[in-house]
Amino acid sequence: MALTEQEILAGIGKIINEITGIPASEVSPEKNFVDDLDIDSLSMVEIAVAAQDEFGVEIPDEQLKHLKTVKDVINFIQN
């Protein structure tokens, strides 16, 4: 069964908190990783790898650079 948006958001929040220390509660769908959450490209790689482990969805590098917001990642995982 596919995960709901809320379930994916909770998982991403947990990963981002683990890697960057940003509280999971601040990780909402509209947030931009660079502009709002101040996450650098190396941390994005860590987050992508952790998300692959968590959700079983491979995020290729060429896709990763297009994922600007939390919502983008949720959509990518759902589809």
Partner 1 sequence: MSTDQVRVVVTGLGATTPLGGDVASTWSALLAGQSGVRNLTEDWVDSVPVKFAAVAAVDPTEVLPRPEARRLDRAEQFALVAAREAWAHAAIDKVDPERLGVVVGSGIGGITTILAAYDTFKEKGWQRLSPYTVPMLMPNGAAGWIGIEVGARAGVHATVSACATGAESIGYAIEMIRSGRADVVVAGGTEAAIHPLNIGSFAAMRAMSTRNDAPQLASRPWDKDRDGFVLGEGAGIVVLESEEHALARGAKIYAVAAGVGYSADAHHIAQPEPTGAGVMLAMRRALENSGLTGQDIKHVNAHSTSTPAGDVVETLAIKEVIGAHPLVTSTKSMTGHLLGGAGGIESVFTILALHERIAPGTINVDNLDDGVEVDIVRGAPRKLPDGQIAAINNSFGFGGHDVAVAFTSI
Active site (catalytic) residues = 40
Mask for 11-50, x = binds partner 1 (CB under 8 A): -------xxxx--------------------xx-xx--x-
Residues belonging to the chain: 79
The residue (of 30 and 53) whose beta carbon lies closer to partner 1 is 53
* In the complex, minimum distance from the CB of residue 4 to partner 1, in angstroms, rounded to a whole number: 27
Burial class (CB in 10 A: 0-12, 13-18, 19+), 45: middle
Interface with partner 1, residue 56, by CB under 8 A: no
| DSSP label of 20 | H
For the chain, how big is the Rg over CA atoms in Å? 11
* In the complex, minimum distance from the CB of residue 74 to partner 1, in angstroms, rounded to a whole number: 22
* Residues engaged in binding partner 1 (CB under 8 A): 18-21, 42-43, 45-46, 49
